[in-house]
Structure formats: structure tokens, C-alpha cells
């Protein structure tokens, strides 16, 4: 059955791949971007099934208007893909406060804005699926990307809690944790570096930048295949709370679980030592 998918940041990268997959599967699409003209390619493929909207996810009122337009056109929203986001790639101290504000305004509060607008619709429908695109950087901390990791851990934690709140209404929530996917993520057109240069971090930051430059447009992950995987998850009766996308993501997640289990085990005596007050 045709569903209606609402995808943010759909003009390029993962959002475009997910949109292509959903379109090929016969679904209706509400695709949004800060650059409306860049959505024309999707619109041209199936004008009767695609609504293209201008949307900056940091603008809460615009998010509400976009969901209203989606309802006017298709009458429902079955799947929300909170995809829009970017990487603030610098060690914490080299970021300015405004770098942190912008990272969270987009990667975290942008997700909240769309959830605020879409969840009432899904509650009324008593069905829906929210995919929040987090990252492997939301599973394991990565030096040189403190703010990005903080934002994606926030998305993962939010998704876990939200899923417990909305399951009663038939709404599924999945935090998607991609590894490296071939998009503009590491490109100068998307990634942001810190606004401060501190001598102590010069060599470290040079490595972060060199690694981003070397990895740019070389990632193994295929955005279209991620879209196809999300179609499989959306059709599943019991979709996962977390989905690691890509072999690299699977390894990061598995290694992190092992490290966490070993650390808990090593310190379990001290962990238990803080009990003591009786009821
Ligand atoms: N590629 C990876 O390796 C990877 C891995 C893990 C997680 N992710 C996550 O995947 C998501 C998509 O990134 P990508 O890899 O596809 O990178 P990308 O090619 O750079 O695309 C980023 C998308 O986010 C949009 N965006 C950024 N800020 C926005 C805002 N304020 N309002 C609306 N749209 C905004 C961009 O819109 P414009 O076109 O208007 O700039 C663009 O469509 C992000 O959340 C990212 O953190 C990516």
C-alpha cells in the first residue's frame, strides 16, 4: 500500500537516496530542502506523487506549515525521516558557542521541531514510523567531533525515550546509525570546522581536516541502499529501536558494546559499593 514519506534534507546525500528508494517503491513523497530548486529532479520523476517544499528544519513554524501542506496534499504522514543535519568537526575547545548552538539547532532541535509537528498526525492515525538519522558518532564518541557526537547521542537518547512514549499509539521510532556513506557530509559544502584556532590543537586539528579531506566522497555506504533498508524496516511489524547502517557501523556498535561490557564488569564492585541506604 502506498504510504506518505516526509523527508528532511532530501536534495542531496542520504535524504536524496532515501527519497529515490521510497519513490521507486511507489510511495507518496514530501521532500523538503533549504534549496527548493534542488528538489526539481525528484518532482519531475513523479509530479503526482511528490510534494517539494522549502524547509529549514531550524524554523519550527516552517516545519508546522510543511506538515500542514503534506496533510492538505496527501491526507496523512506515515513515515517521517529526520535526516537534515551536518557535522561540526573540530575538537570541543576550537568551537565557538555559536558553533554549538547551530549544531544543536539543526541536528537536535530540528528533529524536535518535526516531531512536534508530525506526532499529533501519527497519534490521530494511530500509526506511523519516525526514523531519526543519528550516526555511529551517536554510539561511540569520536575525538575531533565533540559537538557532532553530542548532538547525535542526543538524537539517540531522544529516540529511545520517545519510542517508549508513543508505542501506545502504534508509532515506531528507529534511530538510524550510519557509518560512512558517500554524500557531501565531509565536503566543504556541508561539514563545518571550528571557529577558533588553538595552537595546542594545531597538529590534532590538521589530522581531523586531513582525514575528512581524504575520506570525502570515498565512503563505501550507498545512500540508495540505505533507503531500501529503511523501506524494509518500515514494513517490519517489529522494527528495531537502533539500526546500524553499514559494516563499519556494525563494527563500531559491536566494539562499543564489548568495551562497555568489559568496563562495567571491571568496575562492578565499586558500582555496587554506593548502595547502602535502606528503604
Ligand atoms: N554520510 C555519512 O557518512 C553520514 C554518517 C552518519 C550520519 N550521517 C547523517 O546523515 C544526515 C544526512 O547527511 P548526508 O550524509 O546526506 O550529508 P549531506 O550530503 O551534506 O546532506 C546534508 C543534508 O542536510 C541538509 N541540511 C543541513 N542543515 C539543514 C537545515 N538547517 N535545514 C534543512 N536541511 C538542512 C542539507 O541541505 P542543503 O542541501 O540545503 O545544504 C542536506 O540536504 C545528517 O544528519 C548526517 O549527520 C551521515
105 sits in which H/E element:
helix 97-107
CB distance 32 to 13 below 8 Å = no
Report pLDDT for 1: 81
Q: Which three cell numbers stand for residue 261?
A: 561490557
Indicate if ligand 1 lies below 6 Å from the C-beta of 88: no
pLDDT digits (tens, 9 = 90+) for 220-279: 999 999 999 999 999 999 999 999 999 999 999 999 999 999 999 999 999 999 999 988
Instruction: Provide, rounded to the nearest whole percent, the portion of the chain with pLDDT above 90.
Output: 99
Cell representation of residue 208: 581531523
Q: Is 126 in the pocket of ligand 1 (CB under 6 A)?
A: no
Domains defined for the chain, CATH in brackets: 4-273 (3.40.50.720)
Q: Whose CA is nearest to atom 16 of ligand 1?
A: 13
Q: Does the Cβ of 151 fall within 6 Å of ligand 1?
A: no
pLDDT at 226: 98
Ligand 1 geometric centre to CA of 185 (Å): 6
Q: Say if strands 50-54 and 79-82 run parallel, antiparallel, or are unpaired.
A: unpaired
Residue 279's pLDDT is what?
A: 80
Between the alpha carbon of residue 209 and those of residues 121, 217, 229, 265, the distances in Å are 42, 14, 31, 36
Ligand 1 atom, smallest distance to 9 CA: 43
CA distance 112 to 58: 9
- Probe ligand 1: pick from 6, 137, 185, 225, max atoms within 8 Å of CB? 185
Supply the pLDDT for residue 43: 97
Show the DSSP H helices in 126-246 as ranges.
146-166, 202-215, 223-234
Tell me the best of 190, 216, 249 to mutate to test the pocket of ligand 1, counting ligand atoms within 8 Å of each CB and taking the most.
190
33 lines ligand 1 (CB under 6 A): yes
Judge contact between 149 and 137, C-beta under 8 A: yes
155 lines ligand 1 (CB under 6 A): no
Active site amino acids? 134, 148, 152
Per-residue pLDDT of the chain (279 residues; tens, 9 = 90+): 899 999 999 999 999 999 999 999 999 999 999 999 999 999 999 999 999 999 999 999 999 999 999 999 999 999 999 999 999 999 999 999 999 999 999 999 999 999 999 999 999 999 999 999 999 999 999 999 999 999 999 999 999 999 999 999 999 999 999 999 999 999 999 999 999 999 999 999 999 999 999 999 999 999 999 999 999 999 999 999 999 999 999 999 999 999 999 999 999 999 999 999 988
Residue 217 has phi, psi (to 5 degrees) of 60, 20
Alpha carbons 222 and 238: distance in angstroms, whole number: 25
Amino acid at each position: 500500500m502506498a504510504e506518505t514519506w516526509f523527508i528532511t534534507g532530501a536534495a542531496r546525500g542520504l535524504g536524496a537516496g532515501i527519497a529515490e528508494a521510497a519513490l521507486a517503491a511507489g510511495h507518496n513523497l514530501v521532500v523538503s530542502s533549504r534549496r527548493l530548486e534542488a528538489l526539481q529532479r525528484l518532482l519531475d520523476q513523479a509530479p503526482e506523487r511528490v510534494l517539494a517544499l522549502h524547509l529549514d528544519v531550524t524554523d519550527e513554524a516552517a516545519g508546522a506549515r510543511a506538515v500542514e501542506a503534506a496533510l492538505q496534499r496527501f491526507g496523512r504522514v506515515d513515515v517521517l525521516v529526520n535526516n537534515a543535519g551536518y557535522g561540526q568537526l573540530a575538537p570541543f575547545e576550537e568551537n565557538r558557542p555559536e558553533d554549538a548552538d547551530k549544531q544543536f539547532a539543526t541536528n537536535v532541535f530540528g528533529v524536535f521541531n518535526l516531531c512536534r509537528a508530525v506526532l499529533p498526525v501519527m497519534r490521530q492515525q494511530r500509526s506511523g514510523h519516525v526514523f531519526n538519522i543519528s550516526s555511529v558518532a551517536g554510539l561511540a564518541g569520536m575525538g575531533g567531533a565533540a559537538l557532532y557526537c553530542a548532538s547525535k547521542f542526543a538524537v539517540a537518547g531522544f529516540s529511545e525515550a520517545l519510542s517508549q512514549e508513543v508505542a501506545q499509539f502504534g508509532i515506531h521510532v528507529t534511530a538510524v546509525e550510519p557509518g560512512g556513506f558517500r554524500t557531501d557530509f565531509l565536503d566543504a559544502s556541508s561539514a563545518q570546522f571550528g571557529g577558533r584556532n588553538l595552537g595546542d590543537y594545531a597538529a590534532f586539528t590538521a589530522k581531523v581536516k586531513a582525514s575528512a579531506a581524504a575520506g570525502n566522497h570515498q565512503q563505501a555506504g550507498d545512500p540508495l541502499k540505505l533507503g531500501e533498508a529503511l523501506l524494509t524496516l518500515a514494513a517490519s511489524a517489529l522494527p528495531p529501536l537502533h539500526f546500524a547502517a553499514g559494516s563499519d557501523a556494525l563494527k563500531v556498535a559491536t566494539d562499543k558494546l564489548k568495551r562497555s561490557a568489559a568496563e562495567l564488569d571491571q568496575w562492578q564492585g565499586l558500582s555496587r559499593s554506593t548502595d547502602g541506604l535502606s528503604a
